[in-house]
Amino acid sequence: MHIRKDLSPGKQSLLTTGSFLIPLFLWTIVSYAPFIWHPDIKLQVSADRSGVTTVFTAGDRVSKEFFPTFSEAIRVENQAIMEAREQNKPIIGSRRDNLKKLRHLAPLAVANGWLEVKEQQNDEKLYGVWKGLAEGSLKSTEVELTEENIEVIRSNWRLLSAYAPTYDSKRYPTEAMLKLIPQGVSSNPVYLPAPHEVIQAGWRDFTTKPDNDMPTMWERYRHSLTIIFWGFTYSCLLGIPLAILCGSLDFFSKLHEPFIDFFRYMPAPTFSVLFVAFLGTSDAPKIMLVFVGTFFQLVLVIANTTRLLEKSLLEAAQTLGANRRQLLKRVIVPGILPNLYNDLRILLGWSWTWLVIAELIGEKTGLTGFIDTQGTRYNFDRVFPVIILIGFTGFFTDRFFHGLRDLLFPWTEEAQTGAKGPITRFILRMSNHSSYADRTKA
C-alpha cells in the first residue's frame, strides 16, 4: 500500500464494489443466522391475556424473555377452563369473547393462503377454516400450527359444531372456549427487517398503485426531487452572485457576512411554522425551508472559496489592463469555478437533509411523508427501500457531477492526472469528446 498513491482503476472498482458488499453481507448474516442476534419472537398466533391491557397481535414482536411468560399465562387460563368443564361447572363467558378467540386464527389463515388479506374480518370464511383444521382437511403449507394448538382447535370445534356445524352469525356458544397458545418464530427487532423482506416490500410499494388516491411512490419521488431542485436552484441563483461579491469586495463581505454568519446558527426548521403561516400549506414553505437551509451556508462557503483564489492571478490581470468588471468576469469567476462546483456538490448533499424536514412541515408529502407514515406503523420493511433510494439518488447524482467535473474543467490537475472514473469514461464515450483526448495527448 502506497500512501497517497492512486490505485489502478481495476483495483479501485473492486474496492468500490467491496465497500458496498461488506455492509450488505453483514446485514444478511445478522438477518438469517438465528444464533447471532434474533432477540425477539415474531408472533404468528397471538392471544389476549385476561385482565391485562397490553395487546399483542400477530406480526408483533415480543422479547425472548417475555414470550414464555406470555404463553404460560394463556395455558394457565386454558387449564382453568378445562378443569371447570371436567367438574361439570363450565365457565360461561360471552359470545363476543368466543368470537375474538376464533379471530386470532385469522392472520395465520392469511399467511397460509386460506383467507385473502381482505377476508380477515370475514367470520363465515374463518368458521370454515376452523372446521377444516379440526377435521384435518386443511394442511398448513407456510406456517405450521403447533400440536398444542391443533388440540385447542379440535377441542373448540367440538363445542362449536355442537351448536352450529355450519356458520350462523347468531349461533355461538356462550361456554368459554380455549385460547390459542401464542406461537412465533425467532426474529430480529422490528427495526431491522431482513433483506428479502425489504426487497419484497419495496417491490410491492414501487409497483402497485396505492388505493384512496394517495400518490404512487414514483410520484412521491418526483415531488421530493422537485422540492430539492427549486430550493437549491433559488439558493444558487441568489447565493452565488452574492457570495462572489462578498469574496471579492471587502465592502460586501463586511456588509453581509456577519449577519449571514449569525443567521446560519438559527436552525432553519425553527422557521417552518413561520413559512407555513405566510406561504400556506403548499410546496412553497417546503421549498423555502430547503432554500433557507442551504442559502446561508452556500454564501459563506463560496465567499470563502472566492477569497482563496490566488491573489497573484488578480494582480497579473491588473497589470494586463483588466478593470474591476473584467477581473470579476474573466478572472474570479472562471478561476473559482471548479472549486465552486465542488462546493455545490457538497451543498446539494446537505439539501437532502433539509428536504427531509421540509416534507414533514404542513402537509406531509413526498418520500419523507411515506417514511413518516410507515415508520409510525412500524412498517420498517417499507421504510428501508425509501431510505436506500434517497441514498442512491444522492450517491449517483454526486458521482455523476463528479464525473462531469473533469469534462467541464479539463484544465484542472485532477482532470489531467487522475484516473478517469467509470462515469467520466461513460460520458466521454457518449459525447465522443475527441478534442479532449487530443488535448491530453499534446
C-beta of 57 vs 416, nearer to other proteins: 416
Please list, residue by residue across 270-308, b when 16 or more beta carbons sit within 10 angstroms of its beta carbon and e when fewer do. ebbeebbeebeeebbbbbbbbbbbbbbbbbbbbbebbee
Please say whether the beta carbons of 56 and 62 come within 8 A: yes
CA distance between the termini of the chain: 32
C-beta of 332 vs 361, nearer to other proteins: 332
Q: Which of the 8 DSSP states describes residue 8?
A: P
Q: How far is the CB of 413 from other proteins (least distance, A)?
A: 6
Q: For residue 205, which of 374, 391, 358 has the smallest C-alpha distance?
A: 374
Joined grid coordinates for residue 26 = 453483514
Q: How far is the CB of 276 from other proteins (least distance, A)?
A: 44
Binding site for other proteins (CB under 8 A): 310, 312-313, 315-323, 326, 330-331, 334-335, 337, 409-413, 416, 439, 442
C-beta of 418 vs 422, nearer to other proteins: 418
Write the CA distances from 140 to 111, 125, 181, 287, integer angstroms: 9, 16, 17, 53
C-beta of 83 vs 315, nearer to other proteins: 315
C-beta of 335 vs 385, nearer to other proteins: 335
Q: What is the CB-side half-sphere exposure of residue 363 using CA atoms within 13 A?
A: 10
C-beta of 316 vs 346, nearer to other proteins: 316
Q: How far is the CB of 320 from other proteins (least distance, A)?
A: 4
Q: For residue 285, which of 385, 358, 193, 392 has the smallest C-alpha distance?
A: 358
C-beta of 122 vs 342, nearer to other proteins: 342
Q: How far is the CB of 273 from other proteins (least distance, A)?
A: 46
Joined grid coordinates for residue 396 = 449517483
C-beta of 76 vs 316, nearer to other proteins: 316
Q: For residue 61, which of 37, 76, 81, 44 has the smallest C-alpha distance?
A: 44
Q: How far is the CB of 302 from other proteins (least distance, A)?
A: 17
Q: How far is the CB of 246 from other proteins (least distance, A)?
A: 22
Residues 6+ apart with CB under 8 A from 290: 227, 228, 230, 231, 232, 235, 351, 354, 355, 358
The stretches of 180-263 forming alpha helices (DSSP H) are 195-207, 217-248, 250-263
Q: How far is the CB of 283 from other proteins (least distance, A)?
A: 38
Q: How far is the CB of 319 from other proteins (least distance, A)?
A: 4
The residues that bridge with 62 in the sheet, in sequence order, are: 41
